[in-house]
Each structure stands twice: as structure tokens, then as C-alpha cells.
Structure 1
């Protein structure tokens, strides 16, 4: 994710925050999410998707994931956008911690630029695959 904000150097994205939320909140957002774009076969038709998108407080898109050298990895990462009720709940109920990780992002980027990928890979928090209930994300697959 760090490269998507230009390693904390893109205009308007110079501060990188790690926001920890409750699992219950994340799963609520998944249950109430809609794809950010129309997907043939996943939606009845474009009109039905547009209607669902209007009412959904969360939007999902699946982004290609990359390694530290920005080479594509064989899986995608869920990007979740919140609005309305989901944004309110995120701010008022789900947020557990917020940390400024900008110095960490800059350090990782410096190591990547210097070719020390092993050290760069050890610095960020370890990520794990979401092992949720299949029915929570079934309507988001596609």
C-alpha cells in the first residue's frame, strides 16, 4: 500500500496513517458494500448496480497487489471506501488506534531505493489474509 501514496510524497498524501478498526466494523462494511464498478454477471444489470451503489455505504474494488519492486503478485487486495453511515461508524465506533507511520514509510522507501529489500520487508507490520466467513464477501467476488 505504501507505494500507492508515492511513499508519502504525493501531493496531499504526505502523511501516512495506519488506522486499526474492529473486526466487527470491518465485517459490517463488507456486508453493506457494493462494487465500485459494474461487473457483468455479478449484477443483474447496470441499472441494478447503479441503484445498489447509491444506497451502499461502502464501496469495494479489488486492486492488483505488488511486491517491494512493484512487480505484480498473484492476488488482489480489497480496497474499501466508506461514506455515509459507514464513515460515521468508522469514526465513532470502529476505530481502535491511529498511528502516524510516515517516518516508517520513508525508511522503507529509502531501503527499497538502496536495494536492501530484505531490510525493507522486515519493517512494515506483517499482513495476513482475511479469513472471514465466505458469505460476507460472496457478493463482492468477481
Structure 2
């Protein structure tokens, strides 16, 4: 039994924004759920110790998190791609998630945020957080007009994510496999983690990461 709150996909899809840059996530007043996919040995260690780590996990690499469950399913092939068979739902402090957003620098040049490509490259080199907006995806894998966010962390920010902001880790691989089987019959019976549009606590953070104000607070 997962700790995540689930809801019918079809009902959720009907109320999510159809287009634009929106952070879809399961969250409450204190925490936000983000997803990562790993080989089973890394996931076992994380679930046992309630934080990432162990001999196979590297703090020297960029580590990407996704608050949108279906974007994680697209990237991991619903838990079927090599070294992505185990999907983790990592609950982190909401203040930490906003701090990650505040430190994020786009992976590609954003003219509205930086006066020049040189200025952007300098920020990119100094920052420990990368930001990407990619096409969100239907459960079948078809791309959508809506954009989904993913955040890559390294260095101090990755350490803080693991050691300071993580409050719980759940291996949801069984849920993923179960719903992958349901999806084989169509989306009618599909259940996914309940997600709403997330709005950062600071309007300036929202502006810098490029979320659509029409998504609401």
C-alpha cells in the first residue's frame, strides 16, 4: 500500500492545464513529492535508510528530480528501462524545493532572464542546479502541449537535498508495475498520484523559473 494519494488519471487530466509551463506535483503545506528512477540496488538502500546514498550512489554526478509522476514514467518507460527499474517517491521539505527552484539556471539560454549568453554561461557554471522544461506526456508516451519541469542538482545542493531536505523515501515500483498493466487496457482504469499545480512561495522564484501565472497559487 503506497503512502501516496492516488486519483483516477482521467479525472485529473480534465482539470490540469492543457498547455504552458506548469509544475504538477503532490504536495501539502510542508512537503513536496519528487521522483527518481534507479537500479534496484540503489533504490533498496534509499528505502532502507530513508535517504539516497550507499556505495553505488554518486554525489559527484548531476542528479535529476521530477515532481510530475507521468514525466517520470515517460523517462523510465514505466520502470522498464535499464537502471531505471526502481522508481522512488522522495518527499522533501517544501522550503527545500523552493530553494532548489531559486538556485536553478536554465540549461539553455533564456533571453528574458540574462542580458547576454556570456552572463548566462557564467551563472550556469556557478550554479549547482539545472532547470529544464520538457514536453509533458500522456500515459501512452505521446507528447503534450503542456511543459513539465525537471531539476538537476550537484555539489552542495545535492547534499542538502539528500541530507537536509529529504523527509521520506518510498519505493513505488510495485505501484508502477501495477498501473503499467492497467494502462495496457487503456487509461480508463488508470490511477496516478494526485497532483495539483504547484506555485512557489516567492513570486520572483516563479518568474525566474518561468512557470505560467495562469496556473494559480
TM-score, with normalisation over the residues of structure 1? 0.89
Count, aligned residues: 139
Per the alignment, residue 199 of structure 2 pairs with 131
Deviates more, 1:124-133 or 1:18-27: 124-133
1:45 matched to 2:116? The reply is yes
Per the alignment, residue 141 of structure 1 pairs with 210
In the alignment, the residues of structure 2 paired with residue 55 and residue 32 of structure 1 have an alpha-carbon distance, to the nearest angstrom, of 10
1:65 matched to 2:136? The reply is yes
Q: Deviations over 1:49-92 (max 9, x none)?
A: 11101111111111111222333334211111111111010011
Gapped regions of structure 2 (runs ≥ 5): 1-71, 212-217
Per the alignment, residue 14 of structure 2 pairs with none
Q: Deviations over 1:90-141 (max 9, x none)?
A: 01110011110111111111111222x1221x2x210111122321121222
In the alignment, the residues of structure 1 paired with residue 142 and residue 203 of structure 2 have an alpha-carbon distance, to the nearest angstrom, of 29
Gapped regions of structure 1 (runs ≥ 5): none
After the TM superposition, which segments of 4 or more aligned residues of structure 1 sit over 3 Å from their partners?
71-74
Deviates more, 1:32-41 or 1:14-23: 32-41
In the alignment, the residues of structure 2 paired with residue 137 and residue 59 of structure 1 have an alpha-carbon distance, to the nearest angstrom, of 15
How much is the aligned-residue C-alpha RMSD, in angstroms?
A: 1.6
- Aligned with 1:15 (options 76, 82, 86): 86
- Aligned with 2:159 (options 88, 108, 113): 88
Indicate if the aligned counterparts of 2:132 and 2:151 stay in contact, CA closer than 8 A.
yes
Structure with the higher fraction of residues in helix conformation = 1
Indicate if the aligned counterparts of 2:93 and 2:166 stay in contact, CA closer than 8 A.
yes
Per the alignment, residue 29 of structure 1 pairs with 100
